[in-house]
Amino acid sequence: MDLQKLSQQAYATAKAHGWHDTEQPDEHWLMLIITEIAEAVQADRKDRHADVARFKECMTAIERTGDDWFMTAFAEHIDGTVECELADVVIRILDFAELRGFGFDSVNARARRTYEWYRGNGRDADYTLPMFCYALISNIYDWRKPTEYNLSLVLERLLVYCKLEDIDIDFFVEQKMRFNKLRDYKHGNRKY
């Protein structure tokens, strides 16, 4: 995952859709990240998971091409799922990082090392998504460390979690970013 390139794309899409028209404090953006984390838990409570096979099947049908069909297939098979909401967390973090000039150069390398450690040492099978999401939120609120560090840790842990759970987060980020580009300005006149 090229985090710098994705940060630029996430920010450009958010800006084009009106999300950066007015200056907001960090707490505004951090709360929106937390909201996406909470939405992942809500999707898990409803046992909503993406049907990637169906989505890809829909996208490869010759008679079904173009942005309208993508929006329909995305809405039916990916939107509102755990995987989609985790992708939203990544996108929100990357958008905020670009807005504030943060860089996450070492995140991918740290995530690979952490993943290898978990794979070699096992992990607690009782570690649920709500527990994981609580840990992410706790990292965001660690006032002892700079926001850039906290968000890099959240991003690293999210990438590791997705790999451990066999979630192709790159795929879901790519699809959600395409979906976001095609949405209406301010997603139909949302306040924020």
Alpha-carbon Rg of the chain, whole angstroms?
A: 17
Written as six digits, the tokens of 172 are 């879901």
Report, as an integer, the average pLDDT of 85-108. Answer: 93
| pLDDT reported for residue 89 | 98
| pTM of the model as a whole | 0.91
* 9-57 confidence digits (pLDDT tens): 999 999 999 999 999 999 999 999 999 999 999 999 999 999 999 999 8
